[in-house]
Amino acid sequence: MNQMIDEIQSLMGSINRPIKLMEVCGTHTVAIFRHGIRSLLPSSISLLSGPGCPVCVTSIADVDAAISIAKRPNTALITFGDMMRVPGGRQSLLEARSEGADVRVMYSPMDALKLAQSDPQKEVVFFGTGFETTSPLIAATAFDAVRKKVKNFSVFSSHKTVPLALKALLDSADVRVDGFILPGHVSTIIGTRPYEFVASDYQKPCAVTGFEAPEILLGILMILRQIARKEAKVENGYPSVVKEDGNPKAVALLNEIFEPEDAYWRGIGVLPGTGLKLREKYSSVDADARFHPETTGVPEPELCSCGDILRGVKIPTECALFGTGCTPDNPVGPCMVSTEGSCAAYFKYGQ
């Protein structure tokens, strides 16, 4: 590690200007704090959080819709644990459960399918959130439900995809980033090829990295070497698990079950083609098509800066609510709820 830190110091001396790098993945944000990476870097390197926290970008409307489904008679809504406290328009899933809604936490959609099979009289709906890391397993579960003709199981899809979100950031005039630390988990599924447009079209260096301190430092070093050489390419600093073409079987399954749709990212807005909708042939397990859930229409909290934070325009401490009106015990925005949220990481680990 010392050799990498020394080379980073040397490269910054030759680059001779401030550098802003965005870690796309929320897990990277937490790992950077936990390992004290910022303290190892020159002050001229800024590490900014990106939109790669699935809880953070799940819209108020999707949370409201999930709550609407959970309040249906004889219905169980199944979700990942980190979604329970995300604020909706008027309440969270946790608050809805306290009022009697059947909301349960499970760590695998397959468990939800087993619940549906064991109780055919109860509608079981899995709230599908996350990026390409979680969506293949949910796609496999939907496929299995159709194959086994389980009539009382469905998926409410709020999935999003990463590459086109980066394009939206790069097309935004107020997002100024010199390079991207790309997500390791997502890249195990999609590979490195889908990011190539970032380097070829926008001339931004990229590196896929793991989550240990040496791996993160290697990713930063790879990007700085490119900047010093005036290059832009996608490098793979996580070759033990990430391949150029990713996991073709998982990608094929995703393409079989889902099709792209425009998606609203909380605090950011509608990003074309970044959502995943169940295809028409799987409408029997599409909770949105089956139940047409209602939403409250409540807008984003006015003073919450989650959108700017997820775009790398602000850091959490620049939000007027940070640490006072918004804390982990009383979150206003989703960036303070998720364990991968930038605001939660800043609050826990400090500057």
In whole angstroms, what is the distance from residue 111 CA to residue 124 CA? 11
pLDDT digits (tens, 9 = 90+) for 3-31: 999 999 999 999 999 999 999 998 999 99
pLDDT digits (tens, 9 = 90+) for 230-279: 999 999 999 999 999 999 999 999 999 999 999 999 878 899 999 999 99
Q: In CATH, what class is 1-300? A: alpha beta
**The predicted structure's pLDDT at residue 351:** 55
Strand order in the sheet with 45-52: 45-52, 19-25, 179-182, 206-208, 234-236
**The predicted structure's pLDDT at residue 268:** 84
Q: For the chain, what is the mean pLDDT?
A: 94
**The predicted structure's pLDDT at residue 302:** 83
pLDDT digits (tens, 9 = 90+) for 176-203: 999 999 999 999 999 999 999 999 999 9
Give domain limits for the chain.
1-300, 306-349
The predicted model gives 334-340 an average pLDDT of 86
Is pLDDT of 220 > 60? yes
| CA 184 to each of CA 41, 168, 206, 303: distance values in angstroms, whole numbers, following the listed order | 21, 20, 12, 32
pLDDT digits (tens, 9 = 90+) for 37-89: 999 999 999 999 999 888 899 999 999 999 999 999 999 999 999 899 999 99
Question: pLDDT grade, residue 337 (50/70/90)?
Answer: confident
**The predicted structure's pLDDT at residue 173:** 84
Return contacts of 315-320, CB within 8 angstroms, 24+ apart. Answer: 315/48, 315/49, 315/342, 315/346, 316/342, 316/343, 316/346, 316/347, 317/346, 317/351, 319/343
The predicted model gives 316-345 an average pLDDT of 90
